[in-house]
A = this chain, B = another copy of it.
Amino acid sequence: MKSPVISGALALGLAAFPAMAQEGGLDAATLRADAAALFEPIPDKVEAIRKSEISPEGHKITPEKVDLGRSLFFDPRMSKSGLISCQTCHNAGLGGADGLPTSIGHGWQKGPRNAPTAFNSVFNVAQFWDGRAPDLAEQAKGPLQAGVEMHNTPENLIATLKSMPGYEAMFKSAFPEDADPVSFQNFAHAVEQFESTLITPDGKFDLFLKGDDNAMNEQEKRGLRAFMDTGCTACHNGVNVGGQDYYPFGVVAKPGADVLPAGDTGRFQVTKTVDDEYVFRAAPLRNVALTAPYFHSGAVWDLKEAVQIMSSSQIGTDLTPDQVDDIVAFLDTLTGKQPQIVHPILPLRTEQTPRPAPM
């Protein structure tokens, strides 16, 4: 995790330069220069997935892998029940999330945390609220096996995929170098590749960053200024305006148990380090206007309320109502062009395909 001292320093910065927060922010060139030091626009395309523990060489995005990944992403037969797909909780029509406080999975079980958006997730430092998966390939393996999500096993998944000539052909075409292309690892890679195409460039904020002074209106610019000057950017920066590192939830004051349930200690469950208690990956704020409800608990439906909670628990300063409105207006500019996806026509099952087992 990053030291909360950074937040403190920036919160202090606000007090030290109040004039900048109120005036200088509205000069577009200055605002852009300040923002460019903290953020990057979403690129138009991801050409390759970055190096990671799983992919030490990184790997190039190919149309064949993306196509396969799209089918896998939308196919409910990847779950034990035959009912739940990646799309169930990462709905391509709902900003890549499910709009539920916490997801519903196998047997109508309630999951422990709010489903993070799949959109732009390729830009996050790691996946899940606690960062326990280093990349999207490892991420994809989690929900598939989780008892409260898709409740499948790698063995049953591979038996399912190998039973369908349509999938066999797609794996062969996507992984031509592999002698046995239908593997759990290749399943995960293909899903990762498809998800890496789920990016949302050219939101108003991106257009502003790229040089269009008029892409954001005055209120949105004031919101960006306030977002930087009040210390929000200590945790929410980079291309995803968050998602780039870990921070304690409640740097200044812990929010109530409805928002921060005591039972979920966050990254501590991954690292078993006391310093990581109630530490979470900073929420990436791209398309945040589309992905209510908020926080890992999914307890807050209103973006304004979410900003107020962040203000008191993270930066320890009560934002004025105008500042909150301005910041919410700025956050709305993080909504980018949503991906247009043709729903896949899924491969045909055969008599060898394991039957769905919803009960």
Contacts and interface: CB of A to CB of B under 8 A. Distances in A.
Interface of A: 71, 74-77, 81-83, 88, 91-94, 98-100, 104, 107-108, 110, 289-290, 292, 301-302, 338, 340-346, 348-349, 351, 355-356, 358-359
A285 to B, nearest CB: 16
Contacts of A108: 107-108, 358
Interface SS majority for chain A: loop
B100 A346 contact: no
A98 B355 CA distance: 12
A99 B289 contact: no
Among A76, A338, A359, residue most surrounded by chain B Cβ atoms (within 10 Å): A76
A143 to B, nearest CB: 15
Contact of A342 (B107, B292, B343, B358): B343
A356 B100 contact: yes
A164 to B, nearest CB: 12
Given A83-B98, A93-B345, A341-B343, 13 more contacts: A76-B91, A77-B99, A82-B99, A93-B344, A99-B349, A100-B356, A104-B358, A107-B108, A110-B358, A110-B359, A338-B345, A340-B345, A342-B343
Q: 7 smallest A-B Cβ distances: which pairs?
A: A108-B108, A93-B346, A338-B345, A341-B343, A92-B343, A104-B358, A83-B104
A340 B343 CA distance: 7
